[in-house]
Amino acid sequence: MALDSIDKEILRILQRDGRLSNRDLAAAVGLSAAPCLRRVQRLEEQGYISGYAALVDRDLVGRGLTVFVTVRLAQHTKHAIERFEAEVGKDPAVLECHWTAGETDYLLKVAVADLPGLDRFLLDRMTRIPGVATLQSGIAIRTVKHTTAVPVD
Amino acid sequence: MALDSIDKEILRILQRDGRLSNRDLAAAVGLSAAPCLRRVQRLEEQGYISGYAALVDRDLVGRGLTVFVTVRLAQHTKHAIERFEAEVGKDPAVLECHWTAGETDYLLKVAVADLPGLDRFLLDRMTRIPGVATLQSGIAIRTVKHTTAVPVD
DNA sequence: TCTGAAATTAATACCGC
DNA sequence: GCGGTATTAATTTCAGA
């Protein structure tokens, strides 16, 4: 169940290069291919590795504007919450949605093309969801750091 | 330079499964292996695909608490900005850091174990950076949605 | 659990279309 | 550009320490 230092090193390496060949990974952690593969498969089966993803350049595919949108609902009925979360779940521009403690209810990370795209997202999508009371947008002028790699220690 | 519909489909599929074999990818987009591989290599070379990553379960590796920290600097000197960004860049708990428009200067997405871990992050790391004036933390009670897949259209 | 070799499967370069 | 084939390299299984 627990991870030893080799498992942790595997997770660190695969977070940086998810397509590293098993042979190279094995060499990097000081194992031969067979046991390395078993460890990776175990990490996948037990859910430590939930998947693999190609990372796509947002600017190049025309989604270069990242915006953090905070949402407050008018009422916290079960129906309003479920409706909002369902809408957000199927909107591909919403990369993340977190139910947060504090003044606002949700924090969304949204990928749009530009300011007109943000306008359309807010007007055509968010404000049309019943129960959405207020919306505030924090525009990312520059992304200083962006990684998918969680520290494993 | 531009992407046709098959390129876009490749990006969509590889964002969902970055380790799909080239043969299966080729079948999924209706090509044979050779031209499919050529397209993937082109997407990598031209930067549309910036990399591949294993996605690691945060709860299982003891980083289950996601916190959004907003930071205000005391003064916007070149030195203070560079110092802050350098510190944040090398802190593995900081998954994202965005320079934002609006009231606060930076929005950080941080992965910690629990509330004591957040406390340590704020006290031992953030408040020790010269020039950091105020910190506010928005704790993610529940993550409704979380994807690395950018819409490609 | 590891190693090392064998069998299977995939990646990739080449050529004809 | 694509597709098919040949070659090369990788993954994966299995016997044995």
Determine the Cα–Cα distance for residues B72 and B105; give it in Å rounded to an integer: 5
Question: Average of pLDDT values for B106-122?
Answer: 98
Is A43 a residue whose pLDDT tops 90?
A: yes
CB pair distance less than 8 Å for A96 and B150: no
pLDDT at residue A31 above 90? yes
Q: Which fold has domain A65-139?
A: Alpha-Beta Plaits (3.30.70)
Q: What is the pLDDT at residue B1?
A: 80
Nucleotides on strand C lying under 7 Å from protein C-beta: 1-5, 10-15
Contacts (Cβ under 8 Å, ≥6 apart) of A73: A80, A81, A84, A105, A106, A131, A132, A133
List the domain boundaries for chain A: 5-45, 65-139
Q: What is the predicted pLDDT for the residue at B78?
A: 96
Distance B131 CA to C7 C1' (A): 62
Q: Which residue of A has its CA nearest to B151?
A: A92
| The CATH number of the domain covering residues in B5-45 | 1.10.10.10
Query: Do B53 and A52 form a contact (C-beta atoms < 8 A)?
Result: yes
Q: How confident is the model at residue A94 (pLDDT cuts 50, 70, 90)?
A: very high
Nucleotides in chain D near protein beta carbons (<7 Å): 1-5, 10-15
B107 pLDDT higher than 90: yes
Q: What is the 3-state secondary structure (H, E, C) of chain A?
A: CCCCHHHHHHHHHHHHCCCCCHHHHHHHHCCCHHHHHHHHHHHHHCCCEEEEEEEECCCCCCCCEEEEEEEEECCCCHHHHHHHHHHHHCCCCEEEEEEECCCCCEEEEEEECCHHHHHHHHHHHHCCCCCEEEEEEEEEEEEEEECCCCCCC
Share of chain B above pLDDT 90, in %: 97
C-alpha distance from A122 to closest chain B C-alpha (Å): 17
Q: Convert the pLDDT of each residue in A45-81 to its tens digit.
A: 999 999 999 999 999 999 999 999 999 999 999 999 9
Contacts of A76 in chain B (CB under 8 A): none
Query: What's B118's DSSP letter?
Result: H
Identify the H or E element spanning B109. strand B106-112
For A119, phi then psi, to 5°, come to -55, -50
pLDDT 10s digits, B31-66: 999 999 999 999 999 999 999 999 999 999 999 999
> What would the pLDDT profile of B66-92 be if each residue is shown by its tens digit?
999 999 999 999 999 999 999 999 999
Cross-chain residue pair A144–B17, CB shorter than 8 Å:
no
Closest chain B residue to A61, measured at CA: B152
Q: A97-130: per-residue pLDDT in tens?
A: 999 998 899 999 999 999 999 999 999 999 999 9
Q: Contacts of strand D, CB cut-off 7 Å?
A: A 21-23, 33-34, 37; B 6, 30-35, 38-39
**How close A138 comes to chain B (CA, Å)?**
6
Instruction: Assess contact for B53 and A15: CB atoms under 8 A.
Output: yes
CA B140 centroid distance within chain = 16
CB A89 within 8 A of CB B144: yes
Task: Report how many Cβ contacts below 8 Å link chain A to chain B.
Answer: 217
Roughly what angle, to the nearest 10 degrees, separates helices A5-16 and A22-29?
A: 130
Which residue among A61, A93, A142 places its CB closest to the CB of B11?
Answer: A61
Q: For residue B137, name the pLDDT band (cuts at 50, 70, 90).
A: very high
pLDDT value of position A1: 77
How close A79 comes to chain B (CA, Å)? 15
Q: Which of A100, A121, A129, A135 best tests the B interface by mutation, with the highest count of B CBs <10 A?
A: A100
Say yes or no for a CB contact (<8 Å) between A138 and B14: no
Can you say whether the dihedral through the CA atoms of B7, B11, B17, B22 is positive or negative? positive
